[in-house]
A and B are shown apart, each in its own frame.
Chain A
Amino acid sequence: MPKRTIADVRINSLWCKRCGICVHFCPREVFVSGEDNLPRVRALDRCTGCRLCEYWCPDLAIEVLIDDE
């Protein structure tokens, strides 16, 4: 099994409308709501790469980057 590392979870702040869906529903509580309600990644090491946040985001503003080693 190749090991998966989560390289990054990126939020496009120009497209994000601060709905808070990713912050509320991420099963690993990777995000916190930051300044101006923009989600901020607080613990990348907790992310499992499930991509649910990417799917839920109504604004296509999240990108989960996964490296397959």
Chain B
Amino acid sequence: MALQDYIRSRFFPHIWCVGCGHGTALNALLRAVETLGLDPSDIVMVSGIGCSSRMPGYVDFHTLHTLHGRALAFATGTKMSKPELTVLVPMGDGDALAIGGNHFIHACRRNIDITAIVLNNRIYGMTGGQFSPLSGPGVVATTAPYSTYDPAFDVMRLAVGAGASFAARGSTYHVVELQQLLVKAISHKGFSVIEVLSPCPTHFGRRNQQGDSVEMLEWLKANTAKLGSKAAEENPELITRGIFVEDERPEYCEQYERILEQAREG
């Protein structure tokens, strides 16, 4: 199938701002689905609320646009009732780790076969630029006019600590790598977390002297490095990209099925 066959073209041009990373993340995700040869009718995309959460509107899969922070709860119900479907959950950094933090850690702990795509722009884009648990210190936001001072979560360590069996980080500058990471995340059996560094030029770039989308992509190019690379070793300040964990662990729906069978046998 061609890329065009996976989208609802009637809703384009999409709502995202000029140069928004979320568009590039959607682009990579569609290519990953195409590479995997998945049938759109076997995919469910579930989201909460936020700019990132608008993604299901544009894909021609089964789609659910639900409540802020609660996408993983809806996704868990969906997966439990139809484990044969591929469930994809695009989430904002606020959606996933502020209001939705509790759902996030418990989905990791259960290791349910869902792919959570955390579109990290370090800001609440949709509501006009409040800081999030991924902003980190020194960020100017509408709710931190003199800049933030609280540290950010490390999404990879949080996900792995909570029990996710796959964790990876990519960026919307490193697009080919991003597509490959998404292919691996989606194919992985168990809870997969993929963090995508996805610039919000409108609310993050503008306030934090990072400029427009071109400059923000240049920033990602200069400030990230492949996990295990010489560059990463030499400069611990660089944000690392790649696969942090890829483990085989019992999957939640399969374990549930096993318990049901035991109960049936009496």
A and B assemble together? yes
A7 within 8 A of B: no
Chain A contacts for B217, CB-based, 8 A: 21, 25, 56
**In the complex, the 5 A-B pairs of residues with the closest C-beta atoms, listed nearest first:** A58-B23, A19-B19, A55-B175, A17-B18, A15-B13
Please state if B212 and A19 are interface contacts (CB–CB under 8 Å): yes
- Cα A55 to Cα B175 in complex, Å, equals 6
Chain A contacts for B26, CB-based, 8 A: 60
Chain B contacts for A49, CB-based, 8 A: none
Chain B contacts for A52, CB-based, 8 A: 175-176
B126 within 8 A of A: no
When A and B form their complex, what is the total count of cross-chain residue pairs whose Cβ atoms lie within 8 Å? 63
Please state if A60 and B18 are interface contacts (CB–CB under 8 Å): no
How many Å from the CB of A32 to the closest CB on chain B? 15
Q: C-beta contact mask, A24-47 vs B, less than 8 Å → 1, else 0?
A: 110000000000000000000000
How many Å from the CB of A20 to the closest CB on chain B? 6
Please state if B27 and A15 are interface contacts (CB–CB under 8 Å): no
B199, closest chain A residue (CB): A58
B50 within 8 A of A: no
Q: Which of the residues B7, B16, B176 comes within 8 Å of A58, measured between beta carbons?
A: B16
How many Å from the CB of A8 to the closest CB on chain B? 16
Chain B contacts for A25, CB-based, 8 A: 214, 217
Q: Which of the residues A14, A19, A60 comes within 8 Å of B213, measured between beta carbons?
A: A19
A60, closest chain B residue (CB): B27
